[in-house]
Chain A
Amino acid sequence: MRLTMDQRNMIARRAAKEIVPGMAVNLGIGIPELVADFIPNEWHVMFHSVNGILGVGPTPIQGEEDQHISNAGGAPVTIVPGASYFDSTVAYGMIRRRKLDVAFIGALQVNRRGDLANWIVPGTRVHGIGGGAELAFYAKKVIVLMSHVTLSGEPKIRRECTFPLTAKGCVDLIVTERAVIEVTPEGLMLTEVMYPYSLQDVIYHTGAPLLISEHLQMVE
C-alpha cells in the first residue's frame, strides 16, 4: 500500500511525540525527514546529519540556499544557533559514543526481536549501506517509521526478516499508519491503533505475534 501524504505526516507527527526538548536526533531519508516539521523551535532539538552538521535547521527560502550547506540527502538546509560543522569521523564519533538520543529510520522489514532490514531488497541493485548500520546500532533509541505493509499488501513486521539485516535487535519502537508497536523483551507490544483501522486489521496485517498492551489506545 502506498501511503498518502496525510498518512506520512500522521506517522511523523506521532513519532515526533517521542522527542523531548534538548535531544540530539538523527532523521533518516523518507518519512523520518517529516518529523522536524512537528518539533517546536523553542525545544532546541539538535538535528544531526552524517555529512557533518549538528544543528540542522529548516529548508532555506528559495534563492537563499547556501551551496555548501546540505543534509545527507544532498538537499539544501539551514542551521540553527549553536550548530557546528565537522568532518565525517566526528559525525560518526557522535553516533558511536551514543550521543544521539533518537534515530528515526525507514524500514523494509522489522522482526519480533527488533532486527532491522532497510538497506537492500535482494535481486535489486545494491546501493551500499551508507551510515544506516551505525545509526541503527548505536543510537540510544531507534524508531522505525514506515508503512505497515508493502505495496503488494505483505506485512513488513514479521517473525523473521527475509532481507539482509542492517542491524540486529536495534529497533525500540515502530510507528506506522495503522499502529504503534513497542519492541519489548517479551516480544512486540501493540500500544496504539490508528483511526480508521481496527485491532483486528492490525493483527491481520502484522506477520509476527502481537502482545496487546493493557493500556491499548484507539487513536482518533
Chain B
Amino acid sequence: MYGGFGTIGSPALLIDALLQKGVRDLTLIGIDAGYPDVGIGKLISHGRVKKLLTTHIGSNPEAGQQMMDGRLAVTFCPQGIFAEKIRAGGVGIPGILVDARMWGEATDGREAVLFEGKPCWMEPALTADVGIVYAKQADTYGNLIYDKSARNLNPLVAMAAEITIAEVEEIVPAGELDPEKIVTPGIFVDYMVNRSGGNS
C-alpha cells in the first residue's frame, strides 16, 4: 500500500529500493498507477506487480496495456470510497457502508442491503502487509508531518499497514515537533528512511 497522488507525495526512494531488491508478484493498493517511469508506475513497468487495487490509471498507459494483456489484474473503486476503505482499515473497522445510489454500476452481482431505509453496499476495509509513505518531517519517535498536497493518502496508508515505512525529508529529535501539528502519531510508524541520508 502506498501514498501519493500522481507523483506528489510518492515515496520515490522506497519505490526504487523495492525495484533494486527484486521483489515481484506484488499486490499494490494506491490511488493511481503513477507514470510509466515515475513513482509507483516503475514497479508496474518492470513487471513486478500482479494485482492493483486503485481508482484511476489514466496517467500510466503501461498499466493499461498490461491490464489489456491480462498480465496485471486491476480492480477499480471510486476514489472517495477507496480512501474511506483504507481509513477503515487504519482504525480497525471491518468495512464501511456506501450509498448504493451513488455507485450504481454493480460489477460483481452483489445486492444492495437496506440500512435505515437507504440502499447500501458493504465494502470491506483495506489493509496491507506493508505501507510506504512520504512525509516532510519526522521525529525520532516516528511522528509524521506532511507537506501541503503531498499529504493525500499518506496518513491513511500509514495507519492501515502491518508494517509502515516512512520516507522523510528530515528526522528531528523527539520533542522538537509541535504535538499539535503531528498528523500521524509515531505509534503507527515502524521504520523511517531519511532522504537526506541515514536510516532510523
Interface residues of A (CB under 8 A from B): 49-53, 66-70, 72, 74, 85-89, 91-92, 95-96, 125-134, 137-138, 164-165, 167-168
Contacts and interface: CB of A to CB of B under 8 A. Distances in A.
Nearest to A137: B102
A96 B80 contact: yes
B1 interface: no
Given A92-B79, A168-B104, A51 B149 contact: yes
A52 B9 CA distance: 11
Contacts of A128: 54-58, 74, 76
Given A49-B149, A70-B6, A134-B78, A129 B55 contact: yes
How many of chain B's residues touch chain A, expressed as a range?
35 or more
A130 B155 CA distance: 20
Contact of B79 (A69, A126, A131, A164): A131
A68 B162 CA distance: 27
A130 B154 CA distance: 17
Given A125-B67, A128-B56, A129-B79, 16 more contacts: A53-B149, A87-B154, A88-B79, A95-B80, A96-B80, A128-B55, A128-B57, A128-B74, A129-B56, A130-B56, A130-B78, A134-B78, A134-B80, A137-B102, A164-B105, A167-B104
A69 B56 contact: no
B185 interface: no
Given A85-B149, A87-B153, A131 B54 contact: no
A209 B148 CA distance: 47
Contacts of A168: 101, 104
Given A88-B31, A167-B104, A130 B148 contact: no
Contact of B151 (A52, A126, A165): A52
B188 interface: no
Interface in B130-173: 136, 146-156
Contact of B101 (A96, A126, A130, A137): A137
A8 B103 CA distance: 30
B2 interface: no
Contact of B104 (A92, A126, A165): A165
A113 B64 CA distance: 32
B102 A89 contact: no
A89 B156 contact: yes
B115 to A, nearest CB: 15
A68 B9 contact: yes
B98 to A, nearest CB: 10
Contact of B148 (A69, A89, A133): A69
Interface in B55-94: 55-59, 61, 64, 67-68, 74, 76, 78-81, 83-84, 87
A127 B99 CA distance: 23
A132 B102 CA distance: 11
A89 B151 contact: no
B47 to A, nearest CB: 19
In the complex, the 10 A-B pairs of residues with the closest C-beta atoms, listed nearest first = A92-B80, A88-B83, A127-B58, A130-B56, A74-B6, A128-B56, A131-B79, A128-B76, A68-B150, A51-B5
